[in-house]
Structure 1
Amino acid sequence: MFRRYSFWLIVILFLIYVLSFVDRQIVAVLAPQIRAHFELTNVQIGLLYGTAFSLIYAVAGIPMGRLADQWSRRKMIAIAVFAWSLVTVLSGFATSFAMLVVYRLILGVSQAMLSPAAYALLAETFRPELRASIFSVYASAIFIGIGLSFLVGGTVAQNTDWQTAMVVVGLPGLLLAPVACFFIRDVRVNRFVAGTFVGDIFASLRDMLGKRTIQLHLLGFGMLGVIGYTVLAFISIIFVDVFERPDLIRHYGWFQLGVAVTVIFMGLLADYLARKNPARRFWIGIIAIVAALPLYGLGLFADDGFTALILLGTAVLFSFSFNGVAAALIQFMVRPDQRALAGAVYLFVMSVGGLGLGPPIAGFLMDRAFEGQYAASQAIFSLIIVCATIAIISFVAAMRSYHRDAVD
């Protein structure tokens, strides 16, 4: 009975996570149309896609993570799905850039409720030696969602408009929310104690962030997040501004679907490497960036759009393959009563670095630092080089300190 529940739990959480990234990523897919409709700059697109979502997502994620350790994870997940799906639908009726920003902020708060609770449920339901593999299955939903946002959202927008695309991608979540509410059950009974809530957050954060391996983990994977989310934020702009091939935007979604496979493969590889030394799971981050770096360089400066699509699409197969392993790794270094908060801390760093800083910085470099046909490519690749260097150094150092800080 438990095995049957655990199977359907991962299926339900997987589907929910797919929808979360469809709704999160759709702004980047529709960026050229939104930019033209509201007469925006590239910096404003970066702020809308990244900062408006990520800052509130990151800030809200910490208390949401601690709340998920003390309250009903089932209720949090159901409320979250309904809320972000509703504001995605409403975004299709936005009449100003400011209104889109407000809806993006609400999206950030509601999505901050999901993954900390989901990480804790998965960590408690499945055995530790399977953790990287299970977390990678869950994380693969990210790229199914991103892929569908390009394929479905891009196709709808191409045949109608960006407003209709927003409504279409938001509706499925309104149907899935009640399913989550009735099916998911909390593995243990949580008790919310309001009087100690804030103090408990700070005490747990001090305990976690005092560990050097966690610091290096967050720095390294945060840098990979900057690379990945910056490319996602401006991939539509790249195909339009650099290669003048807007017709290729939706085809990029097929490669995002492929990332789901590489994420699962990397999770299995991480658990295999960990049989001799658990610290070797950090090799996944090194493999991801070393494989992706030359492909990004060749793709961003390709001579034609189709070649760029193949190279950049292949690069992303590696670039985002670390996601499940990164989320699982931090769980090995915290206590059971810190699982959801640890997930929130990881997502905080990925959001602030990946979404909050990467796209606006890249947008600024495009508008102010570089000129010509390949201005966007130069801006993005400059950011990739810096982040890749920091990430590799961090992962090598983390493997040295892992055994001192590991708990589980």
Structure 2
Amino acid sequence: MSAAPAPAQAHDDWPDNYRAPAAWWAVAVTMIFQIVSMIDRQVVSVLIPEMRADLGLNDFQISMVQGMAFALFYGAMGLIIGALVDRHSRQKIMFTGIVLWSIAAAATGFARNYVQLFVARLFVGFGEGAISPAAQSLLSGIFPRGKLATPMSCFTAAGVIGISLSYALGGLLLDRFTVAPLGGVLEGMAPWRQVLVVTGAPGVAVALLAFTLREPKRAGTPPPQRHEASWGSFFGYIRANARLMLGVILGSALVAMMTQAAMSWTPTYARRVLGVSAGEVGTIMSLAVGLGGVIGGIALGLVIDHWFRRGVHDIALRLLAIAALTVPPLIALCFLADDATILFGGITLMMLTMGAIFGPTLAAVQMIAPPAMRGRFGALVVLASNLFGFAFGPMLVGAITDYGFGDPNKIGVSVAIVLVLVCPFAAWLIWNARGDFVRRLAAVPAHSPSNEVCS
């Protein structure tokens, strides 16, 4: 049975200063920003052996630089920047964030000790924290509700493209600079340092694309009062809609937790237990993640927009709950099958479903967020997904393996346990939020002013 429809879509139109070509140009620009962001964030992972030897680092220090510390700082700063997004020009915030992280990413190549490396990476996280909340807020202010899931899926798919490019570009440049190092101001620098400077510095030029974007404007809609965008109002809205917030934000974070628990340990499981070579793992994972995330994400966005326009306004939550309940047990069986083909097939399925639903989830949150709080709600989803996905998920699998089984070869069983235990709770939270989502959707105007105080 379809959910009760939201109000008629007479207001389902473009802003006064936007039409379809300009709207999709905004999608293309935010996708470019997301790709550059992921390259600068992930390219470090290709350079770890050289970086570790040059700076004399241990595995824990490396994990802090690219793992927990980065994810938490990125998420926490994103929430603070989200408040700025709610009050100021998203165009200028994105420009400033890109310039900051690009300079910080290039400065990473000049780090002479762990402290300098750590601080540079913190500023990379600080700058990158601007893109997601600003892009989500901008796109939700441009696209009508019935067309929002597709552009948001394109934005998140760009992150998958960026991750795939970071592996390929990092390896290619490292090999190139090892054979033929660059001269000029970079002469004499270690190849891994040159890679970081070359991949980081161009972002300053890319940032100029922010000035090709426009703040969406609608006639006859004055900007909200400052108290409407206060932190007190923000947390009050969460308390007043607790079941909805838990279902959409915590539920999607638990889906991210299951996804990353499987993704982060798949290479180790494949090499340690199944005997797959490192080269094969890298190639297959790149294909599974890239093809599954991009094709699945965009296709799912189109499907959700289609059914939303037909009146099934909770379609994103329905599909997310169904995926959370049915896919993890299948992936768990793949980790117990002791077969590499089945394993990588399962990872591809997971990216086509659970990994692809994040864009429509972001769109759903933006639909129900009061316009003066869109930036912070976008950042909150990213913070929750980073915390559960990149921190708790992999950590829980490792804890079960080390302290539960005491056997490193049981890593596949540990992943299966996490998937089976978490999936029903995630599905229950999301499914129970559907009614509240539809009611909230009806209460929030489809296109209210979102604090466009700057042009």
- TM-score for the superposition, normalised by structure 2: 0.77
Out of 55, 73, 88, the position equivalent to 2:90 is: 73
Unaligned runs of 5+ in 1: none
Deviation of residue 359 (structure 1)? Answer: 3.5
The equivalent residue for 1:203 is 233
> How far 1:385 moved relative to its partner?
2.8
Corresponding residue of 1:119: 136
State the match for 1:10 in structure 2: 27
Q: Distance in 2 between matches of 1:218 and 1:87?
A: 30
Note the C-alpha offset of 1:291.
Answer: 5.7
Name the CA distance, whole Å, in 2 between partners of 1:255 and 1:183: 34
SS in 1 for 2:35: helix
Q: Decide which of 264, 289, 297 is 1:256's aligned counterpart.
A: 289
Q: 1:294 Cα shift? A: 4.6
Q: Which moved more, 1:229-238 or 1:208-217?
A: 229-238
How many angstroms apart in 2 are the aligned matches of 1:347 and 1:214?
Answer: 14
User: Would the alpha carbon gap of residues 303 and 215 (structure 1) be closer, same or farther in structure 2, given more than 3 Å must change?
Assistant: closer
- SS of 1:332's equivalent in the other structure is helix
CA RMSD of aligned residues (A): 3.3
8 Å CA contact 1:49, 1:233 repeated in 2: no
**Relative to structure 1, is the Cα distance of residues 45 and 226 closer, same or farther in structure 2, using a 3 angstrom cutoff?**
farther
* Identity level (%): 24
Q: CA deviation at 1:392?
A: 0.9
- Output aligned runs, 1:53-202, within 5 Å: 53-156=70-173, 163=193, 165-180=195-210, 182-188=211-217, 200-202=230-232
More helix by share: 1
- Report Cα offsets for 1:152-211 as digits up to 9, x if no partner: 33454577575555445434423311232x312222499899xx6898123223213421
Equivalenced residue count is 404
> Which of 332, 335, 355 is the equivalent residue of 2:370?
335
- Matched to 1:130, the amino acid is K
Q: CA deviation at 1:118?
A: 1.0
1:270 and 2:304 matched? yes
Q: Please list every run of 5 or more consecutive structure 2 residues that lacks an aligned counterpart in the other structure.
A: 1-17, 179-190, 447-455
Q: Is the 8 A contact 1:50 1:357 kept in 2?
A: no
Show the counterpart of 1:394: 429
Residue pair 2:78, 2:383 contacting (<8 A) in 1 also: yes
* Residue 385 of structure 1 pairs with residue 420 of structure 2: yes
Distance 1:244 1:34 in 2: 26
2:279 to 238, 247, 251: 247
Q: TM-score, normalised by structure 1?
A: 0.86
Alignment counterpart, residue 222 of structure 1, candidates 250, 253, 261: 253
Rg comparison, structure with higher value = 2
Encode CA deviations 1:20-72: one digit per residue, 9 max, x unaligned: 1222333455567667775634x665544332112112221222111111111
1:96/1:233 Cα in 2 relative to 1: closer, same or farther (>3 Å)? Answer: farther
Change (3 A) 1:40 1:234: farther
Q: Quick one: distance in 2 between partners of 1:287 and 1:391?
A: 10
Residue type matched to 1:202 in 2? G
Q: Which amino acid in the other structure matches residue 161 of structure 2?
A: I
Closer, same or farther in 2 for the Cα pair 1:97/1:342, shift >3 Å?
A: same
Indicate how the Cα distance of structure 1 residues 235 and 198 shifts in structure 2: closer, same or farther if over 3 A, else same. farther
CA distance in 2, matches of 1:379, 1:355: 16
Q: CA deviation at 1:262?
A: 0.5
